[in-house]
């Protein structure tokens, strides 16, 4: 049982939901990312997603695209991110999950990527553009290393396909709450309540919801339905607004994350 499974086991014991923030590694630089991750952990993050920047982030909206551009411009690489995770492991045991695109993993070499990611202290990976039918090779390498490959499901995913995704996914299932790219939304989809009920009836694995969640109120409402709440673009916006003052950036991200964590953790009972 790795850190992700242990986290959800403890959350279930306490009848709490998971708060999962996302940041792009290297935005605005890796030294600042390291401080932000520790700030997120202190603010109450249960799992933290670290985006590995890729030049063609198909699933990401403008906010994360700009974060990726800043990260690449600062010289961020896969190796440097692994080195950062090793440093982070001296100070936090919060599960760390990479979010990236399959091209990055493939070019690094599947076995090499999994081995080095695991050795650095990471717990899993989400390959946003990897279809179910092409997952077997990565899953095989990851299973050997007890490294989680976390699969995505969408509103358009047929139930039969979701069941297969559930059988492949480890750690949790990432449910994309809407069609389209990442980015904050004023309102969340009306279908979400019924969809979560349906999905929870067809899997025993945690289902966590991301895309479009922009504030604590929305995060709390999602926590009533799902096992976890994933927030990315709204956090990246805090980073972007404070690029000229990195100390203020880290502080503002921590304050915002604490409000989100409080909203998620205030929800009691099982969804």
Read off the pLDDT of residues 78-93 as tens digits, 9 standing for 90 and up: 999 999 999 999 999 9
Nearest to 73 by CA among 19, 30, 38, 22: 30
CA of residue 32 relative to chain centroid, distance:
19
CA dihedral 125, 67, 94, 138 (to 10 degrees): 10
Instruction: Return the residue matching tokens 């070019």.
Output: 107
The reply to whether the predicted model has a pTM over 0.85 is yes
- 101 falls in which pLDDT band (50, 70, 90)? very high
Q: What is the mean pLDDT of residues 128-141?
A: 94
127: left (phi > 0), else alpha (psi -120 to 50), else beta? beta
- 185 falls in which pLDDT band (50, 70, 90)? very low
Inform me whether the pLDDT recorded for 188 exceeds 80: no
Given 5, 27, 46, 60, which residue is catalytic? 60
Inform me whether the pLDDT recorded for 177 exceeds 60: yes
Residue 156 token pair: 């358009």
Please give the mean pLDDT across all residues of the chain: 92
What does DSSP assign to residue 57?
-
Q: What is the mean pLDDT of residues 102-130?
A: 96
pLDDT of residue 223: 95
Q: Give domain 3-265's CATH number out of 3.40.50.800, 3.20.20.70, 3.40.640.10, 3.30.160.70.
A: 3.20.20.70
Q: Is 60 a catalytic residue?
A: yes
Inform me whether the pLDDT recorded for 179 exceeds 50: no
What's the CA gap between 223 and 220, in Å, rounded? 5
What's the CA gap between 46 and 260, in Å, rounded? 12
Cβ neighbour number for residue 1 with a 10 Å cutoff? 8
- 62 falls in which pLDDT band (50, 70, 90)? confident
Q: At CA 153, angle to CA 152 and CA 154, rounded to 5?
A: 125
Higher pLDDT, 257 or 190: 257
Given 49, 123, 148, 237, which residue is catalytic? 49
Q: Is 136 a catalytic residue?
A: no
Inform me whether the pLDDT recorded for 180 exceeds 50: no
In the β-sheet with 18-24, what is the strand arrangement from edge to edge? 148-149, 124-127, 96-100, 48-51, 18-24, 228-231, 207-210, 173-176, 152-153
Q: What is the mean pLDDT of residues 170-197?
A: 71
What's the CA gap between 138 and 129, in Å, rounded? 13
Instruction: Return the residue matching tokens 């699969």.
Output: 151
Instruction: Return the residue matching tokens 């995060």.
Output: 219
């Amino acid at each position: 049982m790795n850190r992700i499974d242990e986290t959800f086991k403890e959350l279930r014991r306490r009848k709490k939901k998971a708060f999962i923030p996302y940041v792009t590694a290297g935005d605005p630089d890796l030294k600042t990312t390291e401080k932000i991750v520790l700030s997120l952990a202190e603010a109450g993050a249960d799992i933290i997603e670290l985006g590995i920047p890729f030049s063609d982030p198909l699933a990401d909206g403008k906010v994360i695209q700009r974060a990726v551009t800043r990260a690449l411009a600062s010289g961020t690489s896969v190796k440097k991110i692994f080195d950062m995770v090793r440093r982070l492991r001296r100070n936090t045991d919060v599960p760390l999950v990479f979010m990236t695109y399959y091209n990055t993993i493939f070019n690094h070499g599947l076995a090499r990527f999994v081995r080095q990611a695991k050795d650095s202290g990471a717990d899993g990976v989400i390959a946003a553009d990897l279809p179910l039918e092409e997952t077997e090779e990565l899953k095989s390498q990851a299973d050997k290393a007890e490294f989680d490959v976390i699969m995505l499901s969408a509103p358009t995913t047929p139930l039969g396909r979701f069941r297969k995704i559930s059988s492949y996914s480890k750690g949790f299932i990432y449910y994309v709450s809407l069609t389209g790219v990442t980015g904050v939304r004023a309102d969340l989809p009306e279908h979400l309540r019924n969809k979560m009920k349906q999905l929870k009836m067809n899997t025993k694995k945690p289902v966590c919801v991301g895309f479009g969640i922009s504030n604590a109120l929305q995060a709390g409402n999602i926590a009533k339905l799902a096992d976890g709440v994933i927030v990315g673009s709204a956090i990246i916006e805090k980073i972007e607004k404070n690029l000229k003052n990195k100390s203020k950036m880290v502080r503002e991200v921590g304050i915002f994350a604490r409000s989100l964590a409080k909203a998620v953790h205030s929800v009691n009972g099982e969804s």
